[in-house]
């Protein structure tokens, strides 16, 4: 059936609106600040037969673009007798999940008595049980230590809340009242989505709606293939590293060979490091999602649906840590390993299409979980991720304090933390000198510092880029790596694995300071216009010494002017040494 362009546009807009309304409902109703204010969530519409993504909300986490497709497919394959009114809950990383804290729900939508589609959403719960508050155990050696693991199971059975399943969940998590609020929010969002999708089917008919969906998918595939055809055919190799797995102090290598042939891309990760002992393993769905996000950073105009992914194929053996198997721990997969995969994709593409690619962004969210007893309000657990610098690119400098590359998320408002938890923020500022030097400067990271005000707490962190800094490209310099410091009863403590530790005891008056990486630089720093270097110095992005040593720009400190002759001579000298 041929569909006219106006109807196609209206149906596309309606599908986007359905996904966006589900997301907005989850935002307004969720009890967890990381879901409501941090945007660590996603909502989408999926195919009834194979779970392929039809539409994902524009504000959802990009890292879920393939993951929830995998989740929905797992539900289709594992649930017998799917019924109207059912909603299934799942968080098992090996059955369509990411890490255990990302809890997915899937709802079948029936129209005129027949299954017609699935809706799904995901939200990061600040706690899912496990050995440390928040679930980010940097020393876990098996997934059973990371928290409660749920296969696809009915949380709603024919529209009725499954009290037994709810009780099991609430008896295994810290702060159960908050988790019950998140469950209700996710269920309500899916039910609203089902109402809106039914209304769309009533208006246009099932055949027309799904003809439009097929056409939208075909157009996305065509657009993605047209972009890939602009990449010269060839094999592009790049590798980057994980600092450590949190248990053993040795790096993990992500080695990627990307073969471009016409409009097809084949990705080979087979030479990456073997599975590791600690929680920096990744599962198949998260690894593949990282590749897609990397390409979407370069070609953002391709609408997200199954057609967007059609040109890609993979060689991902289970002998590598980025396709680990049960019972490997995986709490770092969604936020840390996935970002390094994005970095590797950007690095490979910088060889092929340097005018479109980026230097490495910050490459970590610095997962931070703090749990404790507030003498005034009782037990609490909070989770936060912190931004950093983006890499420079051909057109612009890197974004300062950007959100992580896996997410359209954001650091939650400090006022929310201070009003709900016994903490006081003492610094939240850009980190001077953290961006990599380049013709296009890397963006700056931040300094995120707070003090425990009352009671005792336990802090755990699972981050990256403390050992291997975000790289520059085409002559650009690497950014400054992460640095994290605890001040415990007046004594300074730096975690042995730099960005990873767990169960660090904190008391009233203790301080935690997180210094996040910047982004890598793009192009030779001596090609940066001197007036932009002067502007950077005046804004406090870096100092006079950096301007001179990295950029070859001499600034007269007395009047703040550029010494043009001295700059020309210094730049000539620096270039001769390169």
Judged against a pLDDT cut of 90, whether residue 57 lies above it is answered with no
Confidence of residue 517 (pLDDT cuts 50, 70, 90): very high
Cross-sheet strand order for the sheet of 41-46: 53-56, 41-46, 114-124, 102-111, 87-90, 153-157, 160-161
pLDDT given for residue 1 in this prediction: 59
Token pair 């006081």 is found at 424
- Rounded to whole angstroms, the Cα distance separating 340 from 353 reads 19
pLDDT given for residue 567 in this prediction: 96
Judged against a pLDDT cut of 80, whether residue 334 lies above it is answered with yes
Output the DSSP codes for 486-532. Answer: EEETTEEE--TTSSEEEEEEEETT-EEEEE------BS-GGGS-HHH
Q: Mean of the pLDDT values across residues 274-300? A: 96
Q: Mean of the pLDDT values across residues 311-331? A: 98
- Nearest Cα neighbor of 343 from 359, 330, 354, 331 is 359
- Rounded to whole angstroms, the Cα distance separating 548 from 361 reads 24
- Rounded to whole angstroms, the Cα distance separating 548 from 551 reads 6
Question: Can you give the length of the chain in residues?
Answer: 578
Show the CA angle centred on residue 189, arms to residues 108 and 104, nearest 5°. 65
Mean pLDDT over each residue of the chain, to the nearest integer: 96
Burial of 322 (0-12, 13-18, 19+ CB in 10 A): buried
pLDDT given for residue 63 in this prediction: 80
Asked if residues 440 and 398 have their Cβ atoms less than 8 Å apart, the reply is yes
- Rounded to whole angstroms, the Cα distance separating 101 from 122 reads 10
Judged against a pLDDT cut of 90, whether residue 38 lies above it is answered with no
- Rounded to whole angstroms, the Cα distance separating 575 from 577 reads 5
Cα torsion angle, 355, 360, 362, 366, sign: positive
pLDDT given for residue 64 in this prediction: 83
pLDDT given for residue 413 in this prediction: 87
Q: What is the pTM of this model?
A: 0.96
Judged against a pLDDT cut of 80, whether residue 120 lies above it is answered with yes
Q: Which residues is 278 bridged to in the sheet?
A: none
pLDDT given for residue 557 in this prediction: 79
Q: Mean of the pLDDT values across residues 284-289? A: 95
Residues in contact with 44: Cβ distance below 8 Å, sequence separation at least 6, in sequence order: 19, 53, 54, 55, 56, 57, 60, 64, 68, 119, 120, 121
pLDDT-above-90 percentage for the chain: 93
Higher pLDDT, 407 or 397: 397
pLDDT given for residue 408 in this prediction: 66
Judged against a pLDDT cut of 80, whether residue 409 lies above it is answered with no
Judged against a pLDDT cut of 90, whether residue 58 lies above it is answered with no
Q: What would the pLDDT profile of 446-478 be if each residue is shown by its tens digit?
A: 999 999 999 999 999 999 999 999 999 999 999
Judged against a pLDDT cut of 90, whether residue 41 lies above it is answered with yes
What letter would DSSP give residue 130?
Answer: S
Q: What would the pLDDT profile of 224-280 be if each residue is shown by its tens digit?
A: 999 999 999 999 999 999 999 999 999 999 999 999 999 999 999 999 999 999 999
- Nearest Cα neighbor of 261 from 309, 313, 209 is 313
Both structure tokens of 147: 């928290």
Mean pLDDT check: name the lowest of 17-21, 27-31, 557-561: 557-561
Confidence of residue 486 (pLDDT cuts 50, 70, 90): very high
Output the DSSP codes for 332-357. Answer: TIIIIIHHHHHHHHHHHHHHH-TTT-
- Rounded to whole angstroms, the Cα distance separating 334 from 174 reads 22
- Rounded to whole angstroms, the Cα distance separating 496 from 402 reads 27
Judged against a pLDDT cut of 90, whether residue 62 lies above it is answered with no
């Amino acid at each position: 059936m041929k569909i006219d362009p106006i109807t196609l546009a209206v149906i596309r807009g309606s599908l986007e609106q359905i996904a966006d309304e589900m997301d907005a409902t989850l935002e307004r109703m969720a009890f967890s600040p990381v879901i409501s204010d941090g945007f660590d969530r996603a909502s989408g519409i999926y195919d009834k037969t194979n779970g392929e993504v039809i539409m994902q909300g524009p504000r959802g986490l990009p890292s879920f673009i393939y993951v929830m497709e995998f989740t929905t497919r797992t539900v289709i394959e594992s649930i017998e007798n799917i019924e109207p009114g059912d909603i299934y809950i799942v968080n098992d990383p090996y059955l369509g999940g990411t890490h255990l804290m990302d809890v997915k729900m899937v709802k079948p939508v029936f129209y005129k008595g027949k299954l017609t589609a699935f809706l799904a959403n995901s939200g990061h719960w600040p706690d899912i049980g496990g050995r440390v508050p928040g679930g980010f155990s940097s020393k876990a050696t098996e997934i059973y230590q990371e928290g409660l693991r749920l296969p696809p199971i009915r949380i709603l059975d024919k529209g009725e809340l499954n009290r037994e399943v709810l009780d099991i969940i609430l008896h295994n998590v810290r702060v159960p009242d908050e988790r019950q609020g998140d469950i209700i929010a996710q269920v309500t969002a899916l039910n609203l989505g089902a109402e809106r999708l039914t209304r769309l089917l009533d208006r246009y008919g099932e055949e027309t709606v799904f003809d439009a969906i097929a056409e939208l998918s075909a157009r996305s595939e065509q657009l993605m293939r047209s972009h890939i055809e602009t990449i010269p055919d060839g094999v592009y190799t790049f590798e980057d590293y994980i600092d450590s797995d949190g248990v053993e102090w040795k790096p993990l290598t992500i080695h990627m060979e990307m073969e471009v042939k016409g409009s097809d891309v084949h990705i080979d990760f087979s030479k990456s490091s073997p599975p590791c002992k600690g929680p920096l393993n990744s599962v198949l769905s998260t690894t593949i999602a990282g590749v897609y996000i990397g390409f979407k950073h370069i070609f953002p105009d391709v609408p997200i649906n199954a057609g967007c992914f059609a040109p890609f194929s993979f060689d991902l053996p289970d002998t590598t840590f980025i396709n680990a198997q049960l019972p490997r721990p995986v709490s770092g997969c969604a936020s840390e390993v996935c970002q390094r995969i994005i970095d590797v994709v950007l690095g490979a593409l910088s060889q092929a299409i340097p005018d479109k690619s980026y230097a490495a962004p910050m490459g970590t969210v610095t997962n931070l979980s703090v749990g404790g007893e507030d003498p005034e309000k009782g037990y609490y657990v909070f989770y936060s991720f912190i931004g950093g610098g983006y890499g420079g690119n051909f057109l612009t400098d890197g974004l300062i304090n950007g959100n992580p590359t896996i997410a359209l998320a954001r650091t939650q408002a400090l006022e929310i933390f201070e009003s709900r938890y016994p903490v006081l923020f003492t610094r939240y500022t850009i980190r001077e000198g953290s961006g990599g030097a380049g013709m296009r400067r890397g963006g700056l990271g931040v300094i995120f510092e707070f003090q425990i005000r009352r009671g005792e707490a336990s802090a755990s962190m699972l981050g990256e880029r403390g050992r291997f800094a975000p790289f520059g490209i085409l002559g650009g310099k690497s950014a400054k790596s992460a640095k994290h410091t605890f001040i415990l009863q007046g004594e300074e403590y730096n975690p042995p694995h730099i960005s990873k530790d767990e169960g660090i005891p904190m008391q009233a008056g203790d301080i935690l300071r997180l210094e996040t990486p910047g982004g890598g630089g793009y192009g030779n720093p001596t090609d940066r216009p001197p007036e932009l270097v002067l502007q950077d110095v005046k804004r406090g992005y870096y100092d006079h010494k950096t301007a001179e040593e990295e950029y070859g720009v001499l600034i007269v400190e007395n009047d703040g002017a550029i010494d043009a002759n001295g700059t020309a001579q210094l730049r000539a000298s620096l270039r001769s040494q390169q």
